[in-house]
Amino acid sequence: MTEKVLGVILGGGQGSRLSPLTQTRSKPAVPIGGKYRLVDIPISNCLNSGIHRMFVLTQFNSASLNKHIKNTYHFSHFSSAFVDILAAEQTPDNPTWFQGTADAVRQTMHHLLQHQFEYVLILSGDQLYQMDFNDMLQAHENSGAEVTLATIPSTAKDATSFGILKANEENIITSFIEKPSADLLKDWASDTGPEMQAEGRNYLASMGIYIFNRDLLVRIFAENPDDKDFGKEIIPRVLKEQKVLSFQYEGYWTDIGNISSFFEANLGLTDDIPKFNLFDSAQSIFTRPRMLPPSKILGSNLEKAVIAEGCILNADCIKHSVIGIRSRIGNGTIIENTYIMGCDRYQTLLEIAADKEAGRAWLGIGDRCKIKNAIIDKNCRIGSDVEINGGDHLADGDFELYAVKDGIVVIKKDSVVPDGTIIG
């Protein structure tokens, strides 16, 4: 069945809620889990499902995303598999950049139609989940639906942030509302099953994952060229005219919409049995093979820590933290509840010696630091005796070297934090 499918992954817009991580990169290019990028998740789900033809639609801050995809996803010359980038382009017919999710697909449709396919699988580039799309595709075909939405049971707290729908006994969607206010929710509860209801997950939320029949999508775009967004315009429109199926998914799924959800998703990888399982060989997460050496740990006490390859760790203690590739952490340093993204290169011993002589922090974390409740972006230089103490006592704010979001201190990419700095 998968040979009938073309995957389309949306690169997203400005991603301001994930700032400052998105100041120099798009949301799908944000590093996650110490060695991956967010875009690796939907691409890996497709590959694991046997879907080997994908387009990634990019627009905002797309250079690092384009580079990552180019350097990562190579296939045999004798295969029809590809992961191609479709950047926003101005043409005589489309003089504007992408104006929304549906507009992005509409503007690139002429490229998609050069390939043979029956279904378009539309995915977001900034979600964390492991899903076999074959089950969803089979349900779509069996139902005879024109469109299928992947849905997930949601709590009342989260429901106001998503499109909420109701379906009949055959899982055909009967009504849909985009981001309802709390006072409207009482009318939108669904029978999500005893297990989900026991967790208070009584609302069916759209995951932003869609299957469209090819001919229907072509016709919708031709008849409604001003529709910009799937959730706000296209889905409510097709519900009135077509058979739309709800495919209920009950596994782990989170939308990386803000710093708090990003932080929790990363630290969740350190759990004894994480909800997002990196160790499942049947659902591998693929990324760029870097050929790095194994990590070297010198006297560090590690507890619930995920350590990527190529690290040199002299830290006193690393607890409930994710340490990214090529991280270097000095003597006597304590790291807790922190995601360190790592570095893009190693410094030579001569460079480190020159930095020390000049009183400049080296690439990585210095000696005797105490870092808690923080995200350290790529290629940061944290000096010695630095204290970073995130928490609820800190007000949100954006500063030269760092930002505070929901009590989490985010050190900006390439920042140099001098010796003895205290934040929080």
* pLDDT tens-digit series, residues 55-104: 998 877 778 888 899 999 988 888 888 898 887 666 666 666 676 788 78
Residue 277 covered by a domain: no
Q: How far apart are CA 141 and CA 131, in angstroms?
A: 18
pLDDT band at 282 (very low <50, low <70, confident <90, very high): confident
Least confident stretch, 1-10, 263-272, 410-419: 1-10
Residue 213 covered by a domain: yes
Amino acid making up residue 406: D
pLDDT band at 14 (very low <50, low <70, confident <90, very high): low
Q: Could you give the number of structural domains in the chain? A: 2
Is the domain of 198 the same as that of 170?
yes
Is the domain of 246 the same as that of 170?
yes
Q: What is the rounded average pLDDT of the residues 264-283?
A: 92
Q: What is the rounded average pLDDT of the residues 371-393?
A: 97
User: 113-135: string of b/e by CB count within 10 Å (b at 16+)?
Assistant: eeeeeebbbbbbbbbbbbbbbee
Give, for 105, the enclosing helix (H) or strand (E).
helix 101-112
Is the domain of 242 the same as that of 318?
no
Give, for 342, the enclosing helix (H) or strand (E).
none
Q: How far apart are CA 278 and CA 40, in angstroms?
A: 12
Residue 280 covered by a domain: no
Is the domain of 240 the same as that of 343?
no
Is the domain of 228 the same as that of 354?
no
Closest CA to 165 of 249, 242, 235: 235
Closest CA to 339 of 310, 368, 314, 305: 305
Is the domain of 113 the same as that of 255?
yes
Q: How far is CA 326 from CA 34, 172, 311, in A?
A: 10, 49, 5
> 258: helix, coil or strand?
coil
- Taking a C-beta distance cutoff of 8 angstroms, is the pair 283, 277 a contact? yes
What are the backbone angles phi and psi of residue 209, rounded to the nearest 5°?
Answer: -120, 120
Q: How far apart are CA 234 and CA 232, in angstroms?
A: 7
Q: The tokens 């006297």 sit on which residue?
A: 299
- 291: Cα separation from own chain's centroid: 24
Tell me what pLDDT residue 36 has: 96
Is the domain of 236 the same as that of 324?
no
Of 90 and 213, the one with more pLDDT: 213
Residue ranges making up the domain that contains 312: 290-423
If one counts every other C-beta atom within 10 angstroms of the C-beta of residue 349, the result is 8
What are the backbone angles phi and psi of residue 247, rounded to the nearest 5°?
Answer: -105, 105
Tell me what pLDDT residue 105 has: 85
Q: What CATH number does residue 253 fall under?
A: 3.90.550.10
Q: What CATH number does residue 322 fall under?
A: 2.160.10.10
Report the Cα–Cα distance between both ends of the chain, in Å, rounded: 54
Query: Crossing angle of helices 214-223/101-112, nearest 10°?
Result: 120
Residue 220 covered by a domain: yes
Give, for 287, the enclosing helix (H) or strand (E).
none
Amino acid making up residue 389: N
Q: How far apart are CA 209 and CA 400, in angstroms?
A: 37
pTM for the whole thing?
Answer: 0.93
pLDDT band at 180 (very low <50, low <70, confident <90, very high): confident
What are the backbone angles phi and psi of residue 268, rounded to the nearest 5°?
Answer: -60, -20
Is the domain of 310 the same as that of 411?
yes
Q: The tokens 């139902």 sit on which residue?
A: 143
Least confident stretch, 131-135, 172-176, 184-188, 375-379: 184-188
